[in-house]
Chain A
């Protein structure tokens, strides 16, 4: 099963689920970082919180709260697409935002008047949209699954949740489409007591496609010679488009809008013709086998090529090259061979090309006829089959002379089920925007794509033992990572009739994984982005295979160290060791899968890749692998902070500003994500390293806009520019980085009368400081500094020590406030298209943002433009990136200042 292996076979009964849940809660409590953290006092901090809904992904798979259908936060919808070979389920589980707030969050909410989702006329349900497949032949498994999750009792239109009871005579209605919706209606009635409300197949197909193309940022992709490239489609410019559904036959649908479409054409020569003829002409037992066979074929043994007619010459007058297929199967006419004399491989390839090129041609002609720019292909002939996608793409390219491109959809197999889902009256999906959707993949159980069923993975234990087995049995799957770039198979070429390249790519690689779609209404687009439509977080394009290889290597090398840290963070128990081991295997397998198919989990950027690691850690219940290190470093850094502040205060304003920026850059050397720095750690203490690093701060830096920044801050001559009203400081690592680097800079801004928001991760990622750790750090620092203390009081941060914000914000006119907001992420990078609502609210009044550290200022957002002043500070700790970005070196410093609304040259030295 492509999407969620964890739940497909989960047929636990209610009691088991509940018990499991309790176990889990206990486990979470035991591992809660607060309980053992000296400076982290809030042990009640929930593991699943507001933003957690977005990033704690896979807890749901084990979360049995879904069994309580009458509770408002557990309503689920279910819709089915029952096809000839597969049953597709789409169901929604609602997850109410956790109401357990900490004081910091309450204070922020109060300040900004955020009440979850209230800005909308009716609240969008937060929750998760699941995609699950079953083989139609195994209908019972599907019924068991529905029954165990009680999905059929939760439908919004069902009377059960309205009244709390289920009237005997009033059957629950489940939306369904596909031929089987008729065929199996009685079975559903009998087994589950539900009636299937049959929705028109084409209506569903179109509704599903429209939803996906609008709501999912990179839903569509092109597929040329094995290479997928995701295409971002402006949802305002989506219609009209052509939807070509290649099933047994082919339907060609012109879509003009939501619910507006017309079947304009079709052909009887479709997937059924390929597979039907293929079965008759070869001994293949399955469609997949036939396709696989085609890749060893040479169609020039069967097809009559232009060169065969013209004695090897091109018919150049009309632009036909010698290898163009003049007549599919035409060569078999003039030979006295019989069927058995031909290689089945050659026949399969000829068939594949014959049918695919024909579909491509007819589709293209229809697109031309109706003046449509985009053609999307779907259906079982296409679904997950790299080879058919390649040949169709080639055909469209060929017939259109490069003017048109075939596109495919990631969730293609679920169009019908999604459409059926959309046919419920109140599904709440139509108002969703791309930024409110986060897709999460089950990290605990990677497996080869395209399989219908994963192993039955009920709980963590099963996950671990499966990983152990997976590695034992499946080393051949994960171990030989194909390092040659994909895409050289050349299946698509009229011009390369022998069809094979150097590497033989598995067809299954095209079966993209489908994750769980998390609907998070609280996520917003960062309001200060200059051009949200053009914004691309990732600086480096991982579609360059060598980049992917590089990061694969970096992450692999770093893995043992990470596992050590993770295991140590939980006291090195046997259980932790076992989980650590399983994590390492799971993550390695994910990496291997990504190397084989970079598009497996959708568009892959470095931010996604790094987040994947954190997700994977969380999945194996490592709550915070670097907790001990973070605490130790925070303590060490806080101990020397007073001396540093005294030193800074002895300088004049100008010296101080430079010293502060130097300090940020120097302190940014501490980074457990960087190999180079991890080596450093073994050689000296934090303070030694910091001082050494400071000494090396020779200007000009590699990117040095300091003078420009200084001018904005201090002006020149007598003209003093007004201070910024509000600054957002995106902090990076714990320890020296935040304590000795960013805090003193924040203090300076506060001193100048600028409100400061420290923006930190919602969830741990490496040794990055998190939003719930920051108040403690600030409180500790405030003990030695009046500026920080007053500001923190004003910002409601010193809640325990000072006045409770319960009674209103502290009126302390003596100081502008210092506050902490969470960014909504659990990754070392930040994607500004999806940030927490509190960050978005804070940003609305900000006129300066400072991004600090590699993850947020270089790997992502180096090229991002903002509508306010932006300062990007980082020390380069990656030789390759240094070379790539500015021909630089390890430990080069970046101080990039971009004044609001200006595009200008930076000083690269």
Chain B
């Protein structure tokens, strides 16, 4: 069967929605609206979907190939353990059909682009339930492609976040490379990006979002990461954390040039306390937990950036969640260790780098094929309540 060849048309991509919205849809004004576009990033904890929704959603005439152009990229997440929901979502949205843009056939099956470890693990499930093959893409390739696309093509994508204050950053795309990309998933991947497809996974750490959430579940019994983040905002870290003053007294701190309030040991106060887990407030536990490991991720990122001589560190991944203290902690630590010489930068689509990168691989599109002139400086207000839903 011959498939109609429909191009992935990213020219004119821009963020729909207001500036503070997280993972806002990206408007693709020149994409044929009846195109079917779906890419997946099946990570350790979450399944991230990016799909194209034509302007004429609800219109059953899909695949006619001559619909009016225009539509948006939408971003959806599912917990990995709720794979069934995800499959259902794909079915209900009719994201897979044998016409449209999908470019490849694998042994007679429609193939969709997928990345992340789960693309290997769940390939059979997709085949069985949806009758599609997963065209497995390398995770790093995808993350980097997604980041490069966002940083180069989507105005207003990146921002800094210090002391609760969010400041958009304009990236001069000629001056983008090299940069450090820290992808905070369950674990953390740290990648040096020197060009569109030129990058190197420098290192990583096993202490990532999965660690924070996992420990949070065990310590506080919270069931969602967002609940945990909310808890953390009402806690006092001094209940559990040992600060420098606790150890050597105010006087010695001054002598050593240490600030008395410097965090010396996360959870360190627990050692000398008789209190049991149930004696601690979940809020305090959450605050301590979040700061312990966000500082740690930032510190390792700083060390790697310092070793590589990089000044800009971009943080992505699905555990940032646009959460103010998470970003503040990271920014503070980067600023502290670099003595103000480095900047932590965040992305509005932080959690969808891999999925976006997978999407970009249709047609093997190179973002440099696009030129800046294609991007319109116009914010289109689109209100789709279901555009961004985290099914947790």
CB distance from B229 to the nearest CB of A (A): 14
Q: How large is the interface on B (under 10, 10 to 19, 20 to 34, 35 or more residues)?
A: 35 or more
Residues 237-252 of A contacting B (Cβ, < 8 Å): 247-249
B residues less than 8 Å from A369 (CB atoms): 303, 306-307
Is B256 engaged at the interface, CB distance under 8 Å to the other chain?
yes
CB distance from A245 to the nearest CB of B (A): 12
Is B95 engaged at the interface, CB distance under 8 Å to the other chain?
no
A residues less than 8 Å from B116 (CB atoms): 309
Q: How many residues of A contact B (CB 8 A)?
A: 62
One digit per residue, 1 when the CB lies within 8 angstroms of any chain B CB and 0 when it does not, for chain A 294-318 equals 0000000011101011110101011
**Are A279 and B256 interface neighbours, CB within 8 A?**
no
CA distance in complex: A353, B187 (Å): 14
B residues less than 8 Å from A723 (CB atoms): none
Is A276 engaged at the interface, CB distance under 8 Å to the other chain?
yes
CB distance from B304 to the nearest CB of A (A): 7
Is A514 engaged at the interface, CB distance under 8 Å to the other chain?
no
**Are A329 and B265 interface neighbours, CB within 8 A?**
no
Could you tell me the dominant secondary structure of chain A's interface residues? helix
CA distance in complex: A182, B248 (Å): 9
**Are B214 and A280 interface neighbours, CB within 8 A?**
no
**Are B303 and A366 interface neighbours, CB within 8 A?**
yes
Q: A326-B186, A327-B214, A369-B303 known; A268 and B264 CB under 8 Å? A: yes
Is A63 engaged at the interface, CB distance under 8 Å to the other chain?
no
Which of A86-94, A355-363, A833-841 lies at the interface with chain B? A355-363
Q: A308-B44, A325-B206, A328-B210 known; A334 and B267 CB under 8 Å? A: no
A residues less than 8 Å from B203 (CB atoms): 361, 399
**Are B44 and A327 interface neighbours, CB within 8 A?**
yes
One digit per residue, 1 when the CB lies within 8 angstroms of any chain A CB and 0 when it does not, for chain B 238-253 equals 0011100001110110
CA distance in complex: A272, B266 (Å): 7
Residues 201-258 of B contacting A (Cβ, < 8 Å): 201, 203, 205-211, 213-215, 217-219, 221, 240-242, 247-249, 251-252, 255-256
One digit per residue, 1 when the CB lies within 8 angstroms of any chain A CB and 0 when it does not, for chain B 176-220 equals 000000000111000000000000010101111111011101110
Residues 256-311 of B contacting A (Cβ, < 8 Å): 256, 263-272, 276-277, 280, 285, 292-293, 295-296, 299-300, 303-304, 306-307
CB distance from A391 to the nearest CB of B (A): 12
CA distance in complex: A361, B206 (Å): 10
Is B118 engaged at the interface, CB distance under 8 Å to the other chain?
yes
**Are A304 and B186 interface neighbours, CB within 8 A?**
yes
CB distance from B161 to the nearest CB of A (A): 21
**Are B219 and A280 interface neighbours, CB within 8 A?**
yes
One digit per residue, 1 when the CB lies within 8 angstroms of any chain A CB and 0 when it does not, for chain B 299-327 equals 11001101100000000000000000000
CB closest chain-B residue, reference A319: B201
A residues less than 8 Å from B268 (CB atoms): 248-249, 270, 272-273, 276
CB closest chain-B residue, reference A279: B270
Q: A179-B247, A281-B219, A333-B210 known; A276 and B44 CB under 8 Å? A: no
CA distance in complex: A99, B353 (Å): 82
**Are A276 and B270 interface neighbours, CB within 8 A?**
yes
B residues less than 8 Å from A342 (CB atoms): 218
The one of A265, A272, A347 that contacts B242, using a Cβ cutoff of 8 Å? A272
B residues less than 8 Å from A334 (CB atoms): 45, 79-81
One digit per residue, 1 when the CB lies within 8 angstroms of any chain B CB and 0 when it does not, for chain A 316-357 equals 011000001111111111100011001000010000011001
CA distance in complex: A272, B241 (Å): 9
CA distance in complex: A298, B220 (Å): 23
The one of B120, B138, B206, B213 that contacts A333, using a Cβ cutoff of 8 Å? B213
One digit per residue, 1 when the CB lies within 8 angstroms of any chain A CB and 0 when it does not, for chain B 328-348 equals 000000000100000000000
CB closest chain-B residue, reference A353: B206
Is A187 engaged at the interface, CB distance under 8 Å to the other chain?
no
The one of B242, B256, B264 that contacts A202, using a Cβ cutoff of 8 Å? B256
Pairs A–B under 8 Å by Cβ, sample size 22: A182-B252, A248-B265, A249-B265, A263-B256, A268-B296, A270-B268, A272-B266, A279-B271, A309-B117, A311-B117, A311-B122, A328-B210, A330-B186, A331-B214, A333-B214, A347-B218, A354-B211, A357-B206, A358-B296, A362-B299, A365-B303, A369-B306
Residues of B within 8 A of A (CB): 43-45, 79-81, 116-118, 120-122, 138-140, 185-187, 201, 203, 205-211, 213-215, 217-219, 221, 240-242, 247-249, 251-252, 255-256, 263-272, 276-277, 280, 285, 292-293, 295-296, 299-300, 303-304, 306-307, 337
4 smallest beta-carbon distances between A and B, as pairs: A330-B210, A309-B117, A272-B268, A276-B267
